[in-house]
Amino acid sequence: MTSKAKARTYRLRPDEALAEGVTAEGVARARSALSTAHRAGGSIAQVVGNVAGPRVVTERTAAASGTKMNTAAEAAVTKSAASAQTGAHPVAAAQTGELASPQDVASETDIAEIRKEGLTGRQLRMARRMAQKHGIAATSDFDAVRQLRKRGIDPFQRAAILELVPTERAPQSEQMQVQLPQPVEEPRPPAPSDVPTPDAGLPEDRAGEIFRIQQDIARRRRQKTMALFARLALFVLLPTLVAGWYFAVAATRMYATESEFVIQQADNSSAAPGLSDLFQGAGMAMQQDSTTVQSYLQSRDAMLRLDADMGFKSHFQAPWIDPLQRLAEDATNEDAYKLYKRRVQVGFDPSEGILRMEVVAADPDTSQAFSEALIGYAEEQVDQLTRRLREDQMSGATQSYAVAENNVVEAQGRVLDLQEELGVLDPISETGSLMEQITMFEVQLSEKKLQLEQHLANPRPNAARVRSLEGDVGRLETLIETLRNTMTLSTTGEASLARISGELRIAEGELTTRQLLLQQAAQQLEMARIEANRQVRYMAVGVRPIAPDEPTYPRALENTLLAFAAFAGIYLMISLTASVLREQVSA
């Protein structure tokens, strides 16, 4: 089994010897022997012999599981490292001119051809597992491919790959037999000979082959690096440069006018403190009003009103504005509203209760005019927020007071009508006067009765005096009775004093009630007026809109950096997605 391929870099020093025990004469003899063998028709394998290589200067690893050249480099470097550890025996063999058998030469030739196929590490591992399944003792992954093909087995055929998966129906004995370790015979070294092996390359040729592999790997790396930089330049740097040129040169300069205002409530110190004052201090009502004003300033209604009063659409349809920021001639209200939301920004700070507005236009004076017009719209909106509530409160209290006042007038008229009809100004005083007369007449009646009794007690009373006293007593009794009947009984079509007094008292009671209701209505009217004054909202402008003398937008550097970050992020996401999909497809 082999893992991911690793390539190692070797370099020859010109001032060092070729190898330990190798002389110039030996190299010349080896070259002549190789030339003779080649003219004789022998096949020289790739330079992967057992001769010790040059001294390793540096070693660098590079993941190359999916490339063909890296696999070949792995095989070459692996044989080089293995041969370097064998000592000086191969060198001695090279010096003595050792010859290989035709079978070894043919096997090395086939292995060299297999290496030229550029098999991947995954294919080589599959060939090694298939060779172990068939009981083939292979010295390397390439040897496993060679021996399998020699037996007529294609290690990369789908049916052969499926045979590697063990089935559940296989007998337990076969599974146990496959899982047992198998003896592997080590290949015997070739017999020594005086003639050098044709496929045992010289050290300098082997180092040159490795150097060519390293150059090819470096070339591939340079190509990949250049391709990466080309993609970055095409998909990231070029769009960023175009965006930077637009923001710095082509974009129309825009001017922003900033203003700040706050919504306040009328201060009414005469009102009694209560729970409503606590909520007022917390600013809950002000926050709702501020949010409502903010929503109105960013609504279509405000945009249409600004367009009707100040020409918002016509300003941004001017021909001297660049095409990306210009509003089309046939733009609809929706297109204008999208542009309005970008050019008019209204923010609300709930901690301070301040509304901040920024209006952007292509002309500083126009920007200031737009800002002042929107502030006027906001003031009207603030005044309309509580106008209906105040009008409802005042109208209800005013109507109640008017009804109570009319009722009092009607009750007063009723009392006057009774007084004129009955001829009694005050029934209480009339009743008191009659009672005083009755009391006085009753006192006189008592005196007359005492005088009469005194005269009757005399044995010889004066008859004239007695008759006079009896006449006085009768007249007094008749007068008293008449007065009492006047108070309780109706005589000659006139109502009695008691009836007159009762009607007047009812009318006066109703008048008193109406007067109390009138007082309550007056109090309610005053309270409604106070509450209406408390509901009044005022908008105080803290920062007046002033036309700027320098353009505010676009901010070339910030916008360019933002565009670079956006393009780089998009490229990175697409690259990662493509890499994941490529990995899934290759797996």
pLDDT 10s digits, 529-584 = 888 777 778 888 989 999 999 999 999 999 999 999 999 999 999 999 999 998 88
Nearest to 296 by CA among 390, 388, 386, 385: 385
Residues 532 and 247 sit within 8 Å (Cβ to Cβ): no
Nearest to 352 by CA among 287, 288, 307, 402: 287
pLDDT of 11 over the 80 cut = no
Structure tokens at 455: 């005269």
Q: Cβ contacts of residue 355 below 8 Å, gap of 6+?
A: 260, 261, 262, 263, 290, 293, 294, 346, 347, 348, 349, 378
The Cα 509–Cα 192 span in angstroms is: 150
Q: What is the pLDDT of residue 260?
A: 94
Q: What percent of the chain lies above the pLDDT cut of 90?
A: 28
pLDDT greater at residue 587 or residue 453: 453
Q: Name the burial class of residue 228, with classes exposed (0-12), middle (13-18) and buried (19+) by CB atoms within 10 angstroms of its CB.
A: exposed
pLDDT of 413 over the 60 cut = yes
Torsional sign, CA 418, 419, 421, 427: positive
CATH 1.10.287, the chain: domain bounds: 392-534
- Ranges of beta strands (E only) in 373-525 are none
Exposed e or buried b for every residue in 168-185, given b needs 16+ CB within 10 A? eeeeeeeeeeeeeeeeee
Q: Cβ contacts of residue 424 below 8 Å, gap of 6+?
A: 430, 497, 500, 501, 504
For range 251-262, the mean pLDDT: 93
Q: Any idea which of 185-189, 374-378, 451-455, 502-506 has the lowest mean pLDDT?
A: 185-189
Structure tokens at 76: 């070459």
As beta bridge partners, residue 359 has: 257, 344
Dihedral angle of Cα 564, 567, 568, 573, to the nearest 10 degrees:
160
Q: What is the CATH number of domain 392-534?
A: 1.10.287
pLDDT of 321 over the 90 cut = yes
pLDDT of 117 over the 90 cut = no
Q: What percent of the chain lies above the pLDDT cut of 70?
A: 66
Q: What is the pLDDT of residue 492?
A: 52
Give tens-digit pLDDT for 421-468.
Answer: 666 656 666 667 777 888 888 888 888 888 888 878 888 778 888 888
- Ranges of beta strands (E only) in 208-320 are 255-265
Q: What is the DSSP string of 175-220?
A: HHHHHS----PPPPPPPP-SSPPTTS--HHHHHHHHHHHHHHHHHH
Q: What is the pLDDT of residue 570?
A: 95
pLDDT of 392 over the 70 cut = yes
For range 250-270, the mean pLDDT: 82
Structure tokens at 462: 């004066």
Is this prediction's pTM over 0.75? no
Class of domain 252-386+536-553: alpha beta
The Cα 570–Cα 576 span in angstroms is: 10
Give tens-digit pLDDT for 135-167.
Answer: 888 888 888 888 888 888 888 776 555 555 444
Q: What is the pLDDT of residue 454?
A: 82
* Residue 325 CB coordination number (10 Å): 17
CA angle 243, 245, 248 (to 5 degrees): 105
* Residue 316 CB coordination number (10 Å): 20
Q: What is the pLDDT of residue 110?
A: 84
Q: What is the pLDDT of residue 66?
A: 36
The Cα 202–Cα 512 span in angstroms is: 138
Local structure of residue 265 (DSSP, 8 states): E
Per-chain mean pLDDT for the chain = 74
Q: What is the pLDDT of residue 30?
A: 57
Give tens-digit pLDDT for 34-92.
Answer: 556 545 554 444 333 333 333 333 333 333 333 333 444 344 434 444 443 333 333 33
CATH 3.30.70, the chain: domain bounds: 252-386+536-553
Give tens-digit pLDDT for 79-100.
Answer: 444 443 333 333 333 444 445 5
pLDDT of 184 over the 70 cut = no
Largest CA distance in the chain: 212
The Cα 478–Cα 445 span in angstroms is: 10
**Cis before 554? omega within 30:** yes
pLDDT of 258 over the 90 cut = yes
Q: What is the pLDDT of residue 203?
A: 66
pLDDT of 232 over the 70 cut = yes
pLDDT of 295 over the 90 cut = yes
For range 332-360, the mean pLDDT: 92
Q: Residue 42 phi/psi, 5° resolution?
A: -75, 160
For range 241-250, the mean pLDDT: 93
Q: What is the pLDDT of residue 23?
A: 53
Q: How does residue 255 score in pLDDT terms, banded at 50, 70 and 90? A: very high
Structure tokens at 62: 């590079």
Q: What is the pLDDT of residue 370?
A: 95
pLDDT of 182 over the 80 cut = no
Question: Left if phi > 0, otherwise alpha if psi is -120 to 50, otherwise beta: which for 21?
Answer: left
Residues 73 and 64 sit within 8 Å (Cβ to Cβ): yes
Q: Residue 256 phi/psi, 5° resolution?
A: -110, 130
Local structure of residue 270 (DSSP, 8 states): T
Q: What is the pLDDT of residue 111?
A: 86
The Cα 265–Cα 283 span in angstroms is: 10
Q: Name the burial class of residue 113, with classes exposed (0-12), middle (13-18) and buried (19+) by CB atoms within 10 angstroms of its CB.
A: middle
* Residue 10 CB coordination number (10 Å): 21
Q: What is the pLDDT of residue 217?
A: 93
The Cα 330–Cα 339 span in angstroms is: 14
Q: What is the pLDDT of residue 28?
A: 61
Give tens-digit pLDDT for 121-140.
Answer: 888 888 888 888 888 888 88
Nearest to 313 by CA among 279, 268, 343: 343
The Cα 139–Cα 104 span in angstroms is: 13
Question: Left if phi > 0, otherwise alpha if psi is -120 to 50, otherwise beta: which for 554?
Answer: beta
Q: Name the burial class of residue 211, with classes exposed (0-12), middle (13-18) and buried (19+) by CB atoms within 10 angstroms of its CB.
A: middle
Nearest to 139 by CA among 165, 108, 167, 109: 108
Q: What is the pLDDT of residue 351?
A: 87
